[in-house]
Amino acid sequence: MGSYTAIERSTRAANTRPQNRGRQNAELQYVRPIRPTNAGVRRQKGSQVDTRAAAARRYSSKKRRKRNPAVIFLRFAIKLALVFCVLAMVKGGISLAVSLGEALGKDKDETTQRLPFTEADMGYNADTDRFGEKLAELLERNEETADYVKCYRDREVYQNQSIDLTEELQAGEVPLLLQWDKRWGYNACGDSMIGLAGCGPVCLDMAYLYFTGDSAMTPREMAAFACERGYYKESVGTKWSLWTEGVEELGLRGEELPLDESSMRQVLDSGGLVICSMGPGDFTTDGHFILIRGYDENGFYVNDPNRRSTSSRQWDFDTLCSQIRNLWSLYQA
């Protein structure tokens, strides 16, 4: 009896276990919580970071929108100030130029007013005398000629005077003769006067005196020689052939030179002189002749028959070469 009961209970228990286990498993599966995976955690963290970055961008954008009007105004103010500065500088430059022009004009007027003579004092009328206008232009360009222009009314006295060049002649030196010297400046040079157009003959006379020491050949005689032998052309000036063909008639030797500094120095080192035909620049506004008599490390020594000031300084080759039209060497034959 007892054994039967035990066997029956065992059988019931065995029959009921699978059902209970399946029910328990179902219940466990139903209530089991879902554990978050690592990928889910990363997505959550990533979404949090994205949210924070978006919030920061929105804040920064709002901040920029708030600042933009102030920045724009500041930039506009700076640009406006720069425009006013430029306008002020331009206006100041124009005012300065006008002031300088007025000052220069005033100085020129004052210089003219300070001149101790008038056209009447000089004995000519610029409108009627054929040299009047040229003399006025000469004085305007070169104040050193003031005495020459003033004494024009007494030109006949000087035209017939004898000329003594003893003081100008010094052994071993090239004399500086000026074409507007009153002793010969009023004498004829073609259709003009030596003072206005005699730079070529005067340069040649300086060279001739240096080589020969013959003081009888004055600028007056040299100008007459150039005109009589056809080396001067009216309304043009001294012909370049004077420096090759003409000088031979005077016992000198002339050759055309290349525009080269070493060639010029070689001529001077060998005892010769250099004659230059100059274009507009430091010595003339149209055409002119000068004589180069020496050089050193500071530049060339020049005898300019039109100015003492340009003859009292030295000239570097670069300054001279840009103005030289042609040049010749002169030697004693």
From the CB of residue 137, how many other CB atoms can be counted at a distance below 10 Å?
Answer: 13
As a whole number of angstroms, the distance between CA 296 and CA 300 comes to 7
| Pick from 108-122, 273-287, 297-311: least confident | 108-122
- pLDDT: which is higher, 134 or 126: 134
Q: By the 8 A CB rule, do 199 and 226 touch?
A: no
User: Can you give the pLDDT at residue 80?
Assistant: 80
Using CA atoms, how far residue 241 sits from 53, 229, 247, 248, in Å, is 95, 11, 9, 11
145-190 pLDDT tens trace: 999 999 999 999 999 899 999 999 988 899 999 999 999 999 999 9
> Which of the four pLDDT bands, split at 50, 70 and 90, describes residue 65?
low
Tokens of 207: 């060279």
CB neighbourhood size of 38 (10 A) = 7
Question: What pLDDT does residue 67 have?
Answer: 53
Separation of alpha carbons 219 and 201, rounded Å: 7
Q: Give the contacts of 31 (CB within 8 A, at least 6 positions apart).
A: none
For residue 332, give both structure tokens: 């004693």
SS (H, E, C) the chain: CHHHHHHHHHHHHHHHHHHHHHHHHHHHHHHCCCCCCHHHHHHHHHHHHHHHHHHHHHHHHHHHHHHHHHHHHHHHHHHHHHHHHHHHHHHHHHHHHHHHHHHHHHHHHHHHHHCCCCHHHHCCCCCCCCCHHHHHHHHHHCHHHHHHHHHHHHHHHHHCCCCCCCCCCCCCCCCCCCCCCCCCCCCEECCEEHHHHCHHHHHHHHHHHHHHCCCCCCHHHHHHHHHHCCCEECCCEECHHHHCHHHHCCCEEEEECCCCHHHHHHHHHCCCEEEEEECCCCCCCCCEEEEEEEEECCEEEEECCCCCCCCCCEECHHHHHCCEEEEEEEEEC
Query: What pLDDT does 128 receive?
Result: 47
For the stretch 29-59, pLDDT in tens is: 444 555 555 555 455 555 555 676 666 666 6
Q: Which two tokens stand for residue 275?
A: 């004659």
pLDDT class of 5 with cuts at 50, 70, 90: very low
Band (pLDDT 50/70/90 cuts) for residue 66 is low
Return mean pLDDT, the chain. 81
> Is the pLDDT confidence value at 116 over 50?
no
Is the confidence at residue 303, as pLDDT, over 80? yes
**What is the pLDDT, as a whole number, of residue 3?**
47
pLDDT over threshold 80, residue 15: no
Instruction: Tell me the pLDDT tens digit for each residue of 224-273.
Output: 999 999 999 988 999 999 999 999 999 999 999 999 999 999 999 999 99
Contact status, residue 243 vs residue 297, Cβ threshold 8 Å: no
